């Protein structure tokens, strides 16, 4: 617990200092005009574009679209990943047969699947959601498999000595035992879901931050482009922080 706290709250000043250095560097580059302003706006301009886009423009709506896409796909992936992962993880035979295929699917860059998905489902929101769910499925699925595969044989003895049903075993021993792995997997899945939401929006012309960024770049509105990037960074950090908090709460017993 103490080590975790040290990496948590006490680390905040260091993190802020690092961020300040990064901002200072960004500001210096623009102040010294090392890069044309068409490509890199000053931090203040990016901030102004962000505020304007949020209040006057449609940046808030686009952010919501992207976040919903990310969360929707991630939720589907999490449910399917935990369900399938439990089934595969519980059976050594299933692991032997499916392990290599799962590893292959995981190694496949999910964005490469997008053309296939477009061929099948067209440029629809459903296609993007499907790609997000498909791509973010693997981290959760594989870590769930691992979590179930590493149940201590002694706990199986305990369960059989107590005449526990298979359902009770999964619910009371399998899932809690795999929970740490599952949550780690879900955190990775969330990152993948964000990447694929943005990529999907860019490729399939769906409303959202991905498309907003792409359009800003094409019309050389670098301040708007960076406003979008900042929002994506915030979404990424916020989702990670929320999941880390959930993890801490669920794994109190550690």
Q: Give yes or no for residue 218 binding another protein (CB under 8 A).
A: no
Of 21-29, 122-130, 175-183, 217-225, the segment contacting another protein by CB under 8 A is 175-183
Of 14-22, 26-34, 172-180, 237-245, the segment contacting another protein by CB under 8 A is 172-180
Of 13-21, 163-171, 195-203, 211-219, the segment contacting another protein by CB under 8 A is 163-171
Spatial contact of 183 and 254, defined as CB atoms under 8 Å apart: no
Q: Pick from 57, 72, 99, 176: which binds another protein (CB under 8 A)?
A: 176
Q: Which residues contact 181 (CB under 8 A, 6 or more apart)?
A: 143, 144, 146, 147, 150
Q: Give yes or no for residue 166 binding another protein (CB under 8 A).
A: no
Q: Pick from 160, 241, 242, 245: which binds another protein (CB under 8 A)?
A: 160
Site for another protein in 37-96 (CB under 8 A): none
What is the smallest separation between the CB atom of 163 and another protein, expressed in angstroms?
6
Q: Hey, what are 190's tokens?
A: 């969330």
> What's the rounded Cα separation, in Å, for the pair 45 and 7?
33
Spatial contact of 117 and 131, defined as CB atoms under 8 Å apart: yes
Q: Give yes or no for residue 246 binding another protein (CB under 8 A).
A: no
Residue 143 is inside which H or E element, if any?
helix 125-149
Q: Hey, what are 34's tokens?
A: 């090392």
SS3 56: coil
The residue with tokens 């590493």 is 150
What is the smallest separation between the CB atom of 176 and another protein, expressed in angstroms?
4
What is the smallest separation between the CB atom of 4 and another protein, expressed in angstroms?
15
Task: For the chain, count helices (H), then strands (E).
Answer: 12, 0
Q: Pick from 172, 184, 205, 217: which binds another protein (CB under 8 A)?
A: 172
Number of residues interacting with another protein: please give it, by CB under 8 A.
19
Q: Give yes or no for residue 106 binding another protein (CB under 8 A).
A: no
Closest CA to 135 of 104, 110, 108, 106: 110
Nearer to another protein, 106 or 172 (CB): 172
> What's the rounded Cα separation, in Å, for the pair 226 and 230?
6
Q: Hey, what are 97's tokens?
A: 């047969």
Q: Give yes or no for residue 149 binding another protein (CB under 8 A).
A: no
Q: Pick from 96, 163, 218, 249: which binds another protein (CB under 8 A)?
A: 163
* φ, ψ for residue 123, nearest 5 deg: -90, 60
- Residues of the shown chain interacting with another protein in the complex, contacts defined by CB under 8 A: 152, 154-155, 157-158, 160-164, 168, 172-173, 176-177, 179, 252-254
């Amino acid at each position: 617990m103490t080590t975790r706290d040290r990496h948590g709250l006490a680390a905040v000043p260091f993190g802020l200092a690092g961020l300040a250095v990064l901002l200072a560097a960004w500001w210096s580059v623009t102040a010294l005009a090392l890069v044309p302003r068409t490509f890199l706006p000053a931090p203040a301009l990016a901030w102004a574009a962000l505020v304007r886009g949020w209040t006057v423009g449609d940046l808030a709506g686009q952010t919501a679209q992207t976040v919903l896409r990310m969360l929707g796909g991630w939720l589907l992936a999490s449910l399917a990943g935990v369900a399938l992962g439990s089934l595969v993880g519980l059976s050594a035979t299933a692991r032997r047969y499916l392990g290599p295929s799962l590893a292959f699917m995981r190694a496949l860059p999910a964005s490469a699947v997008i053309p296939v998905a477009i061929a099948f489902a067209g440029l629809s929101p459903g296609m993007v959601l499907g790609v997000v769910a498909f791509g973010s499925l693997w981290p959760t699925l594989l870590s769930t498999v691992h979590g179930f595969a590493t149940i201590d044989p002694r706990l199986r003895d305990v369960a059989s000595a107590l005449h526990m049903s298979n359902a009770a075993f999964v619910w009371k021993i399998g899932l809690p035992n795999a929970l740490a792995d599952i949550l780690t997997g879900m955190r990775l899945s969330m990152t993948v879901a964000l990447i694929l939401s943005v990529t999907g929006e860019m490729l399939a012309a769906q409303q959202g931050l991905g498309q907003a960024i792409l359009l800003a770049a094409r019309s050389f509105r670098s301040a708007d482009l960076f406003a979008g990037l900042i929002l994506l960074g915030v979404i990424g950090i916020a989702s990670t922080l929320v999941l880390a908090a959930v993890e801490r709460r669920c794994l109190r017993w550690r």
